[in-house]
Amino acid sequence: MVDYDFIVIGGGSGGVRAARIAAQAGAKVALIEGSALGGTCVNVGCVPKKLFTYAAQFGQDFQDAKGYGWSVSEPQFDWPTLISNKDREIKRLNTIYAANLKKTGVEIIAAWGQYQGFEDSQHQIALSKDLAGKSLTGEVIQAPKILLATGGEPRRPSFPGAEHVLLSDDLFYLERLPKRLVIIGGGYIALEFACIFAQLGVEVHVMVRSEILRGFDEDLQAWLSEGLEQLKVQVHLQSSVQAVTKTETGLALTYSRADDEQAQTLEADQICAAIGRIIRLPTGLEALELEQAQIKVDAQLQTSVPGCFAVGDLLTTPALTPVAIRQGQWLAQTLFSDQAPTKDWHLPSVPTAVFTQPSLATVGATEAELRECQTAYKVYKSDFRPLKHVLAANTSRVGIKLLVSKDAREQVLGLHMSGAEGPELVQALAVGFDLGMCKADLDRTLAVHPTVGEEWVTLN
């Protein structure tokens, strides 16, 4: 039995940050990870998705260049080259994660952790060669404090023929680019992939049970709907999948619409489900108290088991890499140093980006949330064609929306933006949002002209 001060189960963004901060504070730390370091974000999430997004946008860039006098020969795209280069970059990042952990003194254990119980003030973790805990190595380690940072995995649908359907993670490893792709789901993962593949020349259909981007501001939904239409992505709203069957040429998806009881069929080369993610609990912790199918924690991120903490996608907090990183850092500082900025876990806001076409970015409240809370508010909005697109004959537009309190102070309650510059600009604007920025603060700021960003300080 090997003793540690802190055992982290899971080598994703939150777990790695917590392990590093704890080790830097002098704790003896073990990090257990049976797969590649970096978790969802590095391996099958943010990083490869953004690389795919860049690849998809070049097609439009080549077209835009002609309007600026560039003579562009017919561009050719090669999917295997993208996959190969993406894989090489991910392996490089895996190596960096390992090096940074070792540099701070964290012991990396390449295995899966199985919770054995709590004895003599120590949480005992058995090591296994497989996720299910059926191939135990015989080694057991223990610590008074453990962290669950095992993240989640794509939810598999339950309709007949679901075994023929890809999950969103699988799209990062396709051997060839399909000609026809159906994506099931209306969240940001489904729609990001829809835009990526559509821009690469794939015929894309999206099956949505209710509305796209549920929970996002209504204008962001509308602006994205226009973008999807421009990309010729065929969105089937109010549609439920009934079954998937194999055919001689590929797959057939049977579905029904809310306004039509008669079943309809779509044929495709590939069908992918992006209908949400479920938590991945270490074996032995099935009795943990849950809320909304996520692990329930207190204000110190402690689970129903004393001394056992959780961060990241396991919780009901937004499943975003920066949130997991901040949680991991705050927890390690709270447990092993006096550096934590607050007594309880808290975030003032969660800026978010959706890398569709157009890109979306948001921080703060939506109109629907303000109406639900009966908060009096005022809307400032602008929808325009950016200067860059004029000579390119590109019809894409930029939309910005500012929600403020309906009083003399006009405190900013929400910022929402559609357009290529949105994620970068909203990241900067989020600083002011967290400081309690008001409309007058934007009005006082001198515009940088000509830019897209100047629209935020010239709204009227």
**Which alpha helices (DSSP H) does 286-401 contain, by range?**
321-336, 367-372
Copy the structure tokens of residue 411.
């405190």
The answer for residues whose C-beta is within 8 angstroms of residue 280's C-beta and 6 or more apart is 131, 150, 151, 152, 153, 314
Q: Are the C-beta atoms of 113 and 125 separated by less than 8 Å?
A: yes
- A 10 A CB-CB count for 307 gives 15
Long-range contacts of 424-429 (CB under 8 A, 24+ apart): 425/361, 425/452, 425/453, 425/456, 426/351, 426/353, 426/361, 426/362, 426/363, 427/351, 427/353, 427/361, 429/363, 429/456
Say how far apart CA 383 and CA 294 lie, in whole Å: 38
Copy the structure tokens of residue 14.
């939150």
Place of tokens 């704890």: 22
**Distances in Å between the alpha carbon of 55 and those of 175, 178, 387?**
16, 16, 23
Q: Which of 205, 236, 416, 449 is catalytic?
A: 449
Place of tokens 């009005």: 443
The answer for residues whose C-beta is within 8 angstroms of residue 96's C-beta and 6 or more apart is none
**Distances in Å between the alpha carbon of 239 and those of 6, 274, 340, 416?**
48, 15, 47, 28
Closest CA to 324 of 354, 304, 294: 294
Say how far apart CA 322 and CA 210 lie, in whole Å: 29
Phi, psi torsion values for 405, nearest 5 degrees: -65, 145
**Distances in Å between the alpha carbon of 87 and those of 41, 44, 48?**
14, 11, 8
Say how far apart CA 340 and CA 40 lie, in whole Å: 26
**Distances in Å between the alpha carbon of 15 and those of 130, 233, 310, 444, 452?**
19, 37, 9, 42, 37
Q: Is 449 a catalytic residue?
A: yes
The answer for residues whose C-beta is within 8 angstroms of residue 380's C-beta and 6 or more apart is 401, 402, 404, 439, 459, 460
With residue 82 as reference, give the H or E element that holds it.
Answer: helix 79-103
Catalytic residue numbers, as ranges: 449
